[in-house]
């Protein structure tokens, strides 16, 4: 047994793109002029109704606290396991920031996980769980329950030569498993390693009207230039219907609340009204035995506490862009547009009505995403379908705040879904499929232009 020692917007086509004219100022709601380690943790308290402050503080506390094994005197945070990866949200999202991939096969996956499935459709059209281990590998188990095993990454490298002769080393991982606690994995196993993404600005993204996102997809298709984003359609557990997904690496979650519930269940083994059943596949008999012995009650987090965690994540502010008066940054912004990056990384969106938090409504935001799925080519494919997303499709990740990634989470952060890119240039050079044309434009840039483009990205 292994126990852890301690969890419709403005459409801007490249040819017509002008530098963002109304970047947010420090006084704007939900934008914070903080560029230190706490940059992703800011809340616009004065802009929110005082009646919500207690709930936001409770949600923040639950996000920061460590979950413990039941039964416990700490009843609010009792429910860790029976199997799990980490005991708190911040274990994987340090400072609400992004995770990283382990540097070698002997290093632990501190802020990433490995999704598992087998061919076919699971409940409600999602991935079909691996029969013995479910939909992700959980390394640890509570006393009496063996952990499921360990996943590790082996890295491979190749040199990429740019048009000006610059050589860039690119790396990519293969996934391996060891110390499996419940027998062999399916020979038809599908895997997808995923680092933890940053968690700020999510409320603003949830408040973008679905019609606006679909309008972007229609405009991309009509342009006929090989870029055509598509929405994912996923199961929404509260209303029990299929809706548009917008969160997660493959846009496989529809709301912030359900995204949090999925992480609580998958990463920490904490049940909720959105994910009510513990992860105990039939072969894991020790899991069921311990549950019976402890007399567990589900859900382990109350609906009200889950609502408060969602509210806290709804109100997290976006960092204020920096250096916008620097000519190098301005030139990089123009190059970002002419390379075609803005087709998917839409600079400007507009939020619509949002009854859950009216303060989020009617705002112009600059997330640099279209929230759509795009075919990113064979090199980035995980070949693992997820609802309507196929094995080559990924959601366009937002770029706001990306320049502070290392400041918030430390030097070891990763980019792209599996953390293979150690810096932003590597991330660009992995683009293929619908991103191929933009990548080639960056490859052809002289060094000074590439530096300007990267300076712009680091200013966000």
Is the Cα torsion angle 175, 119, 374, 319 positive or negative in sign? negative
> Could you report the per-residue pLDDT of 242-295, keeping only the tens digit for each?
999 999 999 999 999 999 999 999 999 999 999 988 889 999 999 888 877 766
Within a domain: 136? no
What would the DSSP string read from start to end of 93-144?
SGGG------SSTTS--SSEEEEEEEEEE-GGGSEEPBTTTBTB---EE-TT
Query: H or E element: which one contains 235?
Result: strand 232-236
> Do 382 and 249 touch, CB atoms closer than 8 A?
no
Q: Which of 118, 387, 107 is nearest to 99 (CA)?
A: 107
pLDDT tens digits, one per residue of 315-340: 999 999 998 899 999 999 999 999 99
Give DSSP secondary structure letters for 154-166.
EEEEEEEE-TTS-
Supply the pLDDT for residue 17.
35
The distance of Cα 166 from the centroid of its chain, to the nearest Å, equals 31
pLDDT value, residue 279 = 86
- Radius of gyration for the alpha carbons in the chain, expressed in angstroms and rounded: 22
Separation of alpha carbons 175 and 155, rounded Å: 9
Strands 232-236 and 83-84: unpaired
Contacts 24+ apart (CB under 8 A), 426-429: 426/168, 426/170, 426/171, 429/160, 429/168, 429/170
Using CA atoms, how far apart are residues 365 and 353, in angstroms rounded to an integer? Answer: 14
Helix (H) or strand (E) holding 310: helix 303-315
Residue 183 lies in a domain: no
The whole-angstrom separation of Cα 426 and Cα 409 is 19
Is 22 a member of any domain?
A: yes
Please give the Cα distance from 16 to 296 (Å, whole number): 59
Domain that holds residue 363: 14-99+198-274+288-415+431-459
CB 96 within 8 A of CB 316: yes
Q: Token pair for residue 403?
A: 């320049």
Task: Write down the pTM of the prediction.
Answer: 0.93
Does residue 49 lie within any of the structural domains? yes
Residues 330, 333, 337, 343, CA torsion sign: negative
Exposure string (b/e) for 15-43, b if CB count within 10 Å is 16 or more? eebeebeebbeeebebbbbebeeebbbbb
Q: In angstroms, rounded to a whole number, what is the distance separating the alpha carbons of residues 327 and 293?
A: 66
Q: Does some domain include residue 301?
A: yes
Ranges of residues in the chain with a pLDDT under 50 are 3-21, 25-27
Is 426 part of any domain? no
Cis (ω within 30 of 0) for the bond into 93? no
Residue 3 CA, chain-centre distance (Å), reads: 26
Cα(208)–Cα(29) distance, integer angstroms: 16
Residue 279 falls inside a structural domain: no
State whether residue 237 is helix, strand or coil. coil
Contacts of 318 (CB under 8 A, 6+ apart): 24, 30, 31, 32, 200, 201, 204, 365, 367, 400, 401
Assigned domain for 331 exists: yes
pLDDT of 297 reads 73
- Dihedral in degrees, nearest 10, Cα atoms 30, 31, 37, 43: -20
Give Cα separations from 130 to 83, 119, 182, 183, 367 (angstroms). Answer: 15, 9, 12, 12, 35
Neighbours of 344 (CB within 10 A): 23
Picking from 64, 39, 157, the residue whose alpha carbon sits closest to that of residue 56 is: 64
Between the alpha carbon of residue 106 and those of residues 101, 313, 450, the distances in Å are 12, 34, 35
80/95 Cα distance (integer angstroms): 21
Length of the chain: 460
Give φ, ψ of 134 to 5 degrees.
Answer: 80, -150
Count of domains forming the chain:
1
Residue 75 has a pLDDT of: 86
Give the rounded distance of the alpha carbon of 83 from its chain centre: 22
């Amino acid at each position: 047994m292994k126990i852890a020692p301690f969890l419709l917007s403005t459409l801007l086509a490249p040819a017509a793109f002008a530098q963002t004219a109304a970047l947010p100022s420090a006084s704007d709601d939900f934008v914070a002029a903080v560029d230190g380690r706490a940059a992703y943790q800011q809340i616009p308290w004065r802009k929110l109704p005082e009646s919500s402050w207690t709930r936001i503080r409770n949600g923040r506390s639950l996000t920061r606290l460590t979950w413990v094994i039941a039964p416990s005197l700490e009843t609010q945070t009792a429910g860790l396991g029976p199997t799990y990866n980490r005991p708190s949200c911040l274990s994987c999202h340090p400072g609400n920031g992004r995770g990283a991939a382990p540097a070698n096969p002997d290093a632990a996956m501190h802020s990433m996980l490995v999704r598992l499935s087998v061919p076919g459709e699971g409940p409600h059209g999602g991935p079909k769980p691996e029969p013995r281990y479910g939909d992700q590998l959980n390394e640890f188990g509570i006393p009496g329950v063996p952990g499921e095993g360990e996943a590790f990454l082996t890295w491979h490298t190749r040199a990429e030569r740019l048009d000006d002769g610059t050589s860039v080393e690119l790396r990519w991982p293969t996934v391996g498993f060891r110390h499996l606690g419940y027998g062999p994995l399916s020979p038809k196993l599908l895997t997808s390693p995923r680092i933890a993404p940053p968690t700020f600005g999510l409320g603003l993204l949830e408040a973008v009207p679905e019609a606006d996102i679909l309008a972007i997809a229609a405009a991309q298709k009509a342009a006929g230039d090989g870029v055509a984003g598509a929405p994912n359609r996923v199961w929404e557990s509260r209303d029990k219907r299929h809706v548009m997904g917008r969160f997660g690496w493959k846009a496989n979650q529809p709301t912030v609340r359900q995204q949090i519930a999925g992480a609580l269940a998958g990463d920490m083994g904490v049940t909720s009204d959105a994910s009510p059943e513990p992860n105990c596949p039939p072969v894991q008999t020790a899991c069921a035995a311990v549950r019976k012995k402890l007399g567990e009650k589900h859900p382990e987090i109350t609906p009200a506490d889950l609502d408060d965690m969602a509210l806290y994540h709804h109100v997290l502010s976006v960092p204020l862009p920096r250096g916008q008066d620097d000519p190098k940054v301005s030139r990089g912004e123009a190059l970002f547009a002419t390379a075609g990056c803005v087709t998917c990384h839409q600079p400007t969106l507009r939020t619509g009505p949002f009854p859950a938090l009216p303060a989020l409504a009617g705002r112009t935001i600059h997330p640099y995403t279209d929230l759509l799925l795009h075919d990113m080519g064979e090199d980035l494919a995980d070949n693992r379908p997820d609802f309507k997303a196929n094995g080559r499709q990924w959601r366009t990740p937002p770029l706001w705040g990306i320049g502070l990634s290392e400041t918030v989470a430390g030097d070891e952060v990763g980019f792209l879904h599996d953390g293979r890119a150690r810096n932003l240039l590597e991330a660009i050079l992995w683009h293929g499929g619908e991103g191929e044309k933009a990548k080639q434009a960056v490859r052809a840039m002289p060094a000074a232009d590439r530096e300007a483009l990267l300076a712009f990205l680091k200013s966000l």
